[in-house]
Structure 1
Amino acid sequence: MPNVHLTEPMRDYVDGLIRSGAYANLSEVVRAGIRLLMEKDGARQFYALKAELETAAAAAEGGAFIEFDPRGFEPDAFKS
């Protein structure tokens, strides 16, 4: 795994976090930062999906849709 290179202000900030007892070492700080990035990325994906669904719902409400035929989509599911 590569070393982490921080700017001086970042090092000062991390040192303060460690001195305060919030984190035990640099690795904990880096892991916490990566977790936040992962959460943010998940939120970004959620809001992108939400926007797509809102666009699709508006189109459907405006009449831009076709009736769904479940028998045509999955005919084997309706066999007796």
Structure 2
Amino acid sequence: MATHNVVVPKPMEQSIDELVNTGRYQNFSEVVRAGIRMLLEHEAADAARLEALRNATSLGIMQVEAGQYEDVDPANLATYLDNLARPAGDKA
């Protein structure tokens, strides 16, 4: 396993020390590894959300180009959106 030096600001160092002193982590390295794992999970979740948005956007564009959409009067937009949120058999 590679060894690296990490410089952290004083408030972060105090937080790490508290995590170690409470027994949640054995040492500084465990805290850093946990933080990196969380960062990687967060980055993966962001990438998945971005991919889902790209897919939804592509689908929406294809539907518009194929004429598969409804024109909605802006004055009725709130009602239209409320109806979309209701179960299929419960439309107003």
Q: TM-score range by the shorter chain?
A: 0.7 to 0.9
Matched-pair identity in %: 36
Query: Which of 23, 36, 42 is the equivalent residue of 2:38?
Result: 36
Give the structure 2 partner of residue 58 of structure 1. 60
TM-score, normalising length: structure 1: 0.75
TM-score, normalising length: structure 2: 0.65
Secondary structure (helix, strand or coil) at the match of 1:62 reads helix
Give the unaligned 5+ runs of structure 1.
65-80
Letter in 2 for 1:24: Q
Structure 1 outlier segments of 4+, above 3 Å: none
Deviation, 1:29, is 0.2
Q: Distance in 2 between matches of 1:39 and 1:13?
A: 21
Q: How many residues align?
A: 64
Give the structure 2 partner of residue 19 of structure 1. 21
Give the unaligned 5+ runs of structure 2.
67-92
Root-mean-square deviation (CA, aligned residues, Å) is 1.1
Deviation, 1:2, is 2.4
